[in-house]
Amino acid sequence: MSYKAGIVAAITELKDRTGSSSIAIKKHMQANLPADKKWMNATFLAALKKAVADGDLVQTKNSYKLSADFKKKADR
């Protein structure tokens, strides 16, 4: 699973109305990480930043939530 897919899955499973913090997303992803995979924090942060730049995530203060456009694309 890619880091972006893991981030999206974590945000949808945490179901926080105001958005999920990067720490909560990281903890959720690390708990579901396969045993043979190594956690790479730099890749995680880059994927988080790129998702915000692409418009897939919305950052409010230190929380992230899925954008309305991304939800529409995911429903199709």
Q: Which residues span the domain enclosing 17?
A: 3-75
Structure-token pair, residue 57: 């995530």
At 74, is the pLDDT very low, low, confident or very high (cuts 50, 70, 90)? confident
The number of distinct structural domains making up the chain is 1
pLDDT over threshold 80, residue 1: no
Task: Calculate mean pLDDT across residues 9-18.
Answer: 91
* Residue 75 clears pLDDT 80, i.e. is over it: no
- Please, what is the average pLDDT of the chain? 90
What six digits make up the tokens of 46?
A: 């880059």
**For the segment 20-40, what is each residue's pLDDT rounded down to a tens digit?**
999 999 999 999 888 888 989
Residues 6+ apart with CB under 8 A from 29: 3, 6, 7, 10, 44
CATH code assigned at 71: 1.10.10.10
Predicted TM-score (pTM) of the model is 0.87
Q: What whole-number distance in Å separates Cα of residue 69 and Cα of residue 58?
A: 10
